[in-house]
Homo-oligomer: A and B are copies of this chain.
Amino acid sequence: MDKNYYKVNDGMLWEAPDDENDVIWRFKGNPLFDFNKEKRFWHICNSAVAIVGGKYIGVFRCETPDGRPYLYIGKSADGVKWDIDDKAIKFVWKDTGEEFEFDHCYDPRLIKVEDKYFMVFCGHEDSPSIYIATTEDFEKFILYPRCFLPCNRNGVLFPEKFDGKYYMLNRPFSGNGSKDGEIWLSESADLEFWGHHRKVINKFDNGKNYWERIKIGPGPAPIKTDEGWLLIYHGVQSTCNGLCYSMGACLLDLKDPSKVLYKAKRYLISPSEPYECVGFTPNVMFPCAALVDSKGHITVYYGAADVNMGICFTTVDKLLKFVKEYD
Protein backbone atom coordinates (compact mmCIF):
# COMPACT_ATOMS: atom_id res chain seq x y z
CA MET A 1 0.00 0.00 0.00
CA ASP A 2 1.32 3.38 -0.96
CA LYS A 3 0.85 5.82 1.86
CA ASN A 4 0.25 8.86 -0.30
CA TYR A 5 -2.98 10.04 1.17
CA TYR A 6 -1.36 12.69 3.31
CA LYS A 7 -0.05 15.98 2.15
CA VAL A 8 2.66 18.20 3.33
CA ASN A 9 1.53 21.62 4.47
CA ASP A 10 4.09 24.38 4.64
CA GLY A 11 6.72 21.68 4.78
CA MET A 12 4.92 19.93 7.60
CA LEU A 13 2.95 16.74 7.38
CA TRP A 14 -0.69 17.46 8.04
CA GLU A 15 -4.06 16.04 7.16
CA ALA A 16 -7.39 17.78 7.49
CA PRO A 17 -10.02 15.98 9.55
CA ASP A 18 -12.85 14.03 8.00
CA ASP A 19 -15.22 15.75 10.38
CA GLU A 20 -14.68 19.47 10.83
CA ASN A 21 -15.87 19.30 14.43
CA ASP A 22 -13.10 16.97 15.45
CA VAL A 23 -10.68 18.38 17.99
CA ILE A 24 -7.95 15.89 17.24
CA TRP A 25 -7.76 13.05 14.71
CA ARG A 26 -5.40 10.28 13.72
CA PHE A 27 -3.14 10.07 10.69
CA LYS A 28 -4.48 7.56 8.20
CA GLY A 29 -0.99 6.16 7.75
CA ASN A 30 -0.69 5.03 11.36
CA PRO A 31 1.22 3.23 12.68
CA LEU A 32 4.51 4.37 11.22
CA PHE A 33 6.73 1.32 11.42
CA ASP A 34 6.48 -2.09 9.87
CA PHE A 35 8.57 -4.46 11.95
CA ASN A 36 8.30 -7.18 9.38
CA LYS A 37 10.67 -5.06 7.35
CA GLU A 38 12.36 -3.12 10.12
CA LYS A 39 13.81 -6.09 11.96
CA ARG A 40 16.64 -4.23 13.62
CA PHE A 41 14.44 -3.08 16.47
CA TRP A 42 12.00 -4.71 18.88
CA HIS A 43 10.01 -1.53 19.42
CA ILE A 44 10.18 2.09 18.25
CA CYS A 45 8.09 4.44 20.37
CA ASN A 46 7.95 7.60 22.51
CA SER A 47 10.20 9.61 20.18
CA ALA A 48 10.96 13.24 19.41
CA VAL A 49 10.71 14.88 16.00
CA ALA A 50 11.71 18.28 14.65
CA ILE A 51 11.92 20.01 11.28
CA VAL A 52 15.42 21.37 10.97
CA GLY A 53 16.38 23.29 7.89
CA GLY A 54 13.23 22.11 6.17
CA LYS A 55 14.01 18.47 6.77
CA TYR A 56 12.59 16.06 9.25
CA ILE A 57 14.88 14.83 11.90
CA GLY A 58 13.97 12.64 14.84
CA VAL A 59 15.45 11.09 17.93
CA PHE A 60 13.88 7.70 18.32
CA ARG A 61 13.51 5.49 21.31
CA CYS A 62 14.46 2.15 19.78
CA GLU A 63 14.68 -1.08 21.65
CA THR A 64 17.21 -3.39 20.10
CA PRO A 65 16.34 -7.09 20.17
CA ASP A 66 18.13 -7.47 23.49
CA GLY A 67 15.33 -5.31 24.88
CA ARG A 68 17.50 -2.33 25.73
CA PRO A 69 15.98 1.09 25.00
CA TYR A 70 18.35 3.69 23.58
CA LEU A 71 18.22 6.75 21.35
CA TYR A 72 18.81 6.73 17.59
CA ILE A 73 18.77 9.49 14.98
CA GLY A 74 16.27 9.17 12.14
CA LYS A 75 15.79 11.28 9.04
CA SER A 76 12.79 11.69 6.81
CA ALA A 77 11.64 13.71 3.85
CA ASP A 78 7.98 13.59 4.78
CA GLY A 79 7.78 12.78 8.45
CA VAL A 80 6.33 9.36 7.71
CA LYS A 81 9.01 7.23 6.12
CA TRP A 82 12.06 7.27 8.32
CA ASP A 83 15.66 6.21 7.88
CA ILE A 84 16.94 5.32 11.28
CA ASP A 85 20.66 5.04 11.97
CA ASP A 86 22.20 1.69 12.66
CA LYS A 87 24.14 3.06 15.58
CA ALA A 88 22.82 4.76 18.65
CA ILE A 89 23.54 8.35 19.58
CA LYS A 90 26.93 9.10 21.09
CA PHE A 91 27.05 11.37 24.11
CA VAL A 92 29.99 13.56 25.09
CA TRP A 93 30.18 15.08 28.56
CA LYS A 94 30.07 18.86 28.40
CA ASP A 95 32.72 19.38 31.06
CA THR A 96 35.29 16.74 30.17
CA GLY A 97 34.59 16.01 26.52
CA GLU A 98 34.65 12.31 27.30
CA GLU A 99 32.25 9.94 25.59
CA PHE A 100 29.56 8.41 27.73
CA GLU A 101 27.11 5.57 27.31
CA PHE A 102 24.06 5.17 29.49
CA ASP A 103 22.96 1.85 30.82
CA HIS A 104 19.84 2.71 28.87
CA CYS A 105 17.88 5.85 27.99
CA TYR A 106 14.51 6.74 26.49
CA ASP A 107 11.55 9.10 26.01
CA PRO A 108 13.32 12.11 24.42
CA ARG A 109 11.91 15.58 23.74
CA LEU A 110 13.53 18.03 21.32
CA ILE A 111 13.28 21.75 22.07
CA LYS A 112 14.76 24.72 20.29
CA VAL A 113 15.61 27.44 22.77
CA GLU A 114 17.08 30.61 21.30
CA ASP A 115 18.34 28.92 18.12
CA LYS A 116 19.90 26.02 19.93
CA TYR A 117 18.52 22.50 19.99
CA PHE A 118 18.23 20.69 23.27
CA MET A 119 17.18 17.16 23.92
CA VAL A 120 15.68 16.29 27.30
CA PHE A 121 15.35 12.60 28.10
CA CYS A 122 15.43 9.98 30.81
CA GLY A 123 18.78 8.30 31.31
CA HIS A 124 19.85 5.56 33.68
CA GLU A 125 23.30 5.55 35.12
CA ASP A 126 21.87 3.63 38.04
CA SER A 127 18.52 5.28 38.78
CA PRO A 128 16.23 7.10 36.31
CA SER A 129 17.02 10.82 36.04
CA ILE A 130 16.46 13.66 33.62
CA TYR A 131 19.38 14.68 31.39
CA ILE A 132 19.83 17.45 28.86
CA ALA A 133 22.00 17.26 25.78
CA THR A 134 22.56 19.85 23.10
CA THR A 135 23.57 19.37 19.51
CA GLU A 136 24.37 21.45 16.47
CA ASP A 137 24.54 18.73 13.88
CA PHE A 138 22.41 15.94 15.34
CA GLU A 139 25.50 13.82 15.37
CA LYS A 140 27.37 14.92 18.43
CA PHE A 141 25.33 15.38 21.59
CA ILE A 142 26.90 17.42 24.38
CA LEU A 143 25.69 16.07 27.68
CA TYR A 144 24.99 18.19 30.77
CA PRO A 145 25.25 16.66 34.23
CA ARG A 146 22.07 15.02 35.43
CA CYS A 147 19.57 17.74 36.28
CA PHE A 148 17.93 16.24 39.32
CA LEU A 149 18.48 13.62 41.92
CA PRO A 150 16.63 10.38 41.11
CA CYS A 151 13.89 9.60 40.33
CA ASN A 152 12.42 11.55 37.44
CA ARG A 153 11.41 10.12 34.08
CA ASN A 154 9.81 12.95 32.10
CA GLY A 155 11.15 16.40 31.43
CA VAL A 156 10.71 19.08 28.78
CA LEU A 157 12.14 22.60 28.44
CA PHE A 158 10.14 25.65 27.45
CA PRO A 159 11.22 27.03 24.06
CA GLU A 160 11.93 30.39 25.66
CA LYS A 161 13.72 31.60 28.72
CA PHE A 162 11.96 33.52 31.47
CA ASP A 163 13.93 36.30 33.11
CA GLY A 164 17.04 34.73 31.73
CA LYS A 165 16.26 31.33 33.14
CA TYR A 166 15.49 28.02 31.53
CA TYR A 167 12.24 26.49 32.71
CA MET A 168 11.65 22.77 32.78
CA LEU A 169 8.43 20.89 33.33
CA ASN A 170 9.06 17.49 34.85
CA ARG A 171 7.49 14.62 36.73
CA PRO A 172 9.35 13.58 39.88
CA PHE A 173 8.70 10.01 40.87
CA SER A 174 8.31 9.92 44.57
CA GLY A 175 7.30 6.37 45.26
CA ASN A 176 4.07 4.52 45.73
CA GLY A 177 1.74 6.01 48.30
CA SER A 178 3.06 9.53 47.90
CA LYS A 179 1.55 12.30 45.82
CA ASP A 180 3.30 10.73 42.90
CA GLY A 181 3.18 11.69 39.30
CA GLU A 182 2.27 15.35 39.00
CA ILE A 183 3.89 18.07 36.94
CA TRP A 184 6.51 20.31 38.50
CA LEU A 185 8.35 23.34 37.21
CA SER A 186 12.07 23.89 37.84
CA GLU A 187 14.39 26.75 36.90
CA SER A 188 18.03 27.09 35.97
CA ALA A 189 20.27 29.84 34.67
CA ASP A 190 22.84 27.45 33.25
CA LEU A 191 21.10 24.09 32.76
CA GLU A 192 23.38 22.64 35.43
CA PHE A 193 22.09 23.96 38.71
CA TRP A 194 18.36 23.71 39.25
CA GLY A 195 16.03 25.12 41.85
CA HIS A 196 12.81 26.94 42.66
CA HIS A 197 10.95 23.70 42.12
CA ARG A 198 7.20 23.92 42.53
CA LYS A 199 4.31 21.73 41.54
CA VAL A 200 2.29 23.47 38.86
CA ILE A 201 -0.24 20.97 37.54
CA ASN A 202 -2.25 18.67 39.76
CA LYS A 203 -3.68 15.42 38.54
CA PHE A 204 -7.30 14.43 38.99
CA ASP A 205 -8.45 17.89 40.21
CA ASN A 206 -9.41 16.51 43.59
CA GLY A 207 -11.40 13.57 42.50
CA LYS A 208 -13.20 14.28 39.23
CA ASN A 209 -11.00 13.54 36.21
CA TYR A 210 -10.71 9.79 36.43
CA TRP A 211 -8.84 9.46 33.15
CA GLU A 212 -5.80 11.08 34.82
CA ARG A 213 -6.28 9.70 38.32
CA ILE A 214 -2.98 7.85 38.68
CA LYS A 215 -0.39 10.25 37.31
CA ILE A 216 0.25 12.96 34.77
CA GLY A 217 3.46 14.04 33.03
CA PRO A 218 4.54 16.64 30.49
CA GLY A 219 4.55 15.67 26.83
CA PRO A 220 5.94 17.75 23.93
CA ALA A 221 7.49 21.19 24.45
CA PRO A 222 4.78 23.73 25.26
CA ILE A 223 3.43 25.56 22.20
CA LYS A 224 3.45 29.34 22.39
CA THR A 225 0.20 31.06 21.47
CA ASP A 226 -1.10 34.55 22.00
CA GLU A 227 -3.15 33.35 24.88
CA GLY A 228 -0.59 31.25 26.69
CA TRP A 229 1.50 28.10 26.49
CA LEU A 230 -0.39 25.09 25.24
CA LEU A 231 0.79 21.96 26.97
CA ILE A 232 -0.09 18.48 25.77
CA TYR A 233 0.51 15.94 28.50
CA HIS A 234 -0.10 12.28 29.31
CA GLY A 235 -2.61 11.23 31.97
CA VAL A 236 -2.95 7.72 33.37
CA GLN A 237 -5.88 5.73 34.71
CA SER A 238 -5.74 2.23 36.18
CA THR A 239 -7.97 -0.78 35.66
CA CYS A 240 -7.81 -4.21 37.24
CA ASN A 241 -5.72 -5.23 34.20
CA GLY A 242 -3.13 -2.43 34.16
CA LEU A 243 -2.76 1.21 33.16
CA CYS A 244 -4.23 3.30 30.32
CA TYR A 245 -2.27 6.34 29.03
CA SER A 246 -4.31 9.09 27.31
CA MET A 247 -3.42 12.64 26.25
CA GLY A 248 -4.70 15.84 27.84
CA ALA A 249 -4.20 19.54 27.31
CA CYS A 250 -3.94 22.72 29.35
CA LEU A 251 -2.94 26.35 28.91
CA LEU A 252 -0.23 27.98 31.01
CA ASP A 253 0.28 31.70 31.51
CA LEU A 254 2.58 33.29 28.95
CA LYS A 255 4.70 35.18 31.43
CA ASP A 256 4.39 32.98 34.45
CA PRO A 257 3.97 29.42 33.23
CA SER A 258 3.51 28.19 36.78
CA LYS A 259 -0.02 29.53 36.47
CA VAL A 260 -2.55 27.21 34.86
CA LEU A 261 -5.07 29.34 32.97
CA TYR A 262 -7.22 26.50 31.68
CA LYS A 263 -7.05 22.76 32.03
CA ALA A 264 -9.52 20.54 30.23
CA LYS A 265 -11.16 18.13 32.61
CA ARG A 266 -11.49 15.59 29.84
CA TYR A 267 -8.82 13.76 27.87
CA LEU A 268 -7.91 15.04 24.44
CA ILE A 269 -7.57 11.60 22.89
CA SER A 270 -7.43 8.11 24.35
CA PRO A 271 -6.30 4.70 23.00
CA SER A 272 -8.89 3.05 20.78
CA GLU A 273 -7.11 1.87 17.64
CA PRO A 274 -5.70 -1.68 17.55
CA TYR A 275 -2.09 -0.46 17.41
CA GLU A 276 -2.74 1.55 20.58
CA CYS A 277 -4.72 -1.09 22.47
CA VAL A 278 -2.66 -4.16 21.59
CA GLY A 279 1.08 -4.55 22.02
CA PHE A 280 3.94 -4.66 24.48
CA THR A 281 2.07 -2.36 26.88
CA PRO A 282 -1.58 -2.28 25.83
CA ASN A 283 -3.62 0.96 25.92
CA VAL A 284 -0.87 3.56 25.63
CA MET A 285 -0.73 6.87 23.74
CA PHE A 286 2.39 8.71 24.85
CA PRO A 287 3.02 12.08 23.15
CA CYS A 288 6.62 13.28 22.89
CA ALA A 289 6.63 15.77 20.01
CA ALA A 290 4.33 18.40 18.48
CA LEU A 291 5.15 20.33 15.33
CA VAL A 292 3.36 23.58 14.52
CA ASP A 293 3.26 25.40 11.21
CA SER A 294 2.61 29.05 10.51
CA LYS A 295 -1.12 28.46 10.17
CA GLY A 296 -1.43 26.86 13.56
CA HIS A 297 -1.68 23.30 12.35
CA ILE A 298 -0.30 20.87 14.88
CA THR A 299 1.17 17.44 14.20
CA VAL A 300 1.64 15.29 17.31
CA TYR A 301 3.93 12.24 17.36
CA TYR A 302 3.12 9.70 20.02
CA GLY A 303 4.22 6.28 21.13
CA ALA A 304 1.61 3.57 20.69
CA ALA A 305 1.42 0.60 23.09
CA ASP A 306 5.18 0.91 23.73
CA VAL A 307 5.68 -0.72 20.34
CA ASN A 308 5.19 1.72 17.51
CA MET A 309 4.67 5.38 16.64
CA GLY A 310 1.49 7.16 15.65
CA ILE A 311 0.66 10.66 14.50
CA CYS A 312 -2.41 12.73 15.22
CA PHE A 313 -3.41 16.20 14.11
CA THR A 314 -5.07 19.21 15.63
CA THR A 315 -4.75 23.00 15.46
CA VAL A 316 -3.88 25.75 17.85
CA ASP A 317 -7.38 27.17 17.63
CA LYS A 318 -9.01 23.85 18.32
CA LEU A 319 -6.83 23.25 21.35
CA LEU A 320 -7.43 26.72 22.74
CA LYS A 321 -11.15 26.25 22.36
CA PHE A 322 -10.89 22.79 23.90
CA VAL A 323 -9.07 23.77 27.07
CA LYS A 324 -11.48 26.65 27.68
CA GLU A 325 -14.64 24.74 26.90
CA TYR A 326 -13.85 21.82 29.18
CA ASP A 327 -12.04 23.64 31.97
Contact = CB atoms under 8 A, between A and B. Distances in A.
A187 B280 CA distance: 38
B193 A189 contact: yes
Interface residues of A, number: 72
A145 B197 contact: yes
A278 B278 contact: yes
Given A178-B127, A192-B196, A282-B282, A243 B243 contact: no
A309 to B, nearest CB: 15
A299 interface: no
A223 to B, nearest CB: 21
A181 to B, nearest CB: 11
Quickly give the copy total for this chain.
6
Interface in A272-327: 272, 274, 277-283, 306, 326
Nearest to A126: B179
Nearest to A150: B174
Interface in A166-183: 170, 172-176, 178-179
Interface stretch (A46-54, A113-121, A204-212): A204-212
A42 interface: yes
A135 interface: no
Contacts of A104: 210
A224 B193 CA distance: 26
The winner among A149, A152, A210, A274 for most chain B CB atoms within 10 A is: A149
Nearest to A170: B149
Contacts of A112: none
A311 B214 CA distance: 32
A103 B42 CA distance: 38
Nearest to A144: B195
A69 B209 CA distance: 10
A148 B151 contact: no
A162 interface: no
Contacts of A109: none
A232 to B, nearest CB: 15
A1 interface: no
Contacts of A306: 239
A35 interface: yes
B149 A197 contact: yes
A191 to B, nearest CB: 9
Contacts of A64: 266
A211 B67 contact: yes
Given A147-B195, A149-B152, A195-B192, A267 B175 contact: no
A42 B194 contact: no
A172 to B, nearest CB: 4
A264 to B, nearest CB: 9
5 nearest A-B residue pairs (beta carbon)? A67-B210, A241-B242, A67-B211, A65-B266, A193-B193
19 contacts: A64-B266, A65-B211, A66-B209, A67-B212, A67-B213, A68-B208, A126-B199, A128-B174, A146-B197, A148-B149, A149-B186, A150-B172, A151-B174, A175-B175, A175-B176, A193-B194, A240-B242, A240-B281, A241-B242
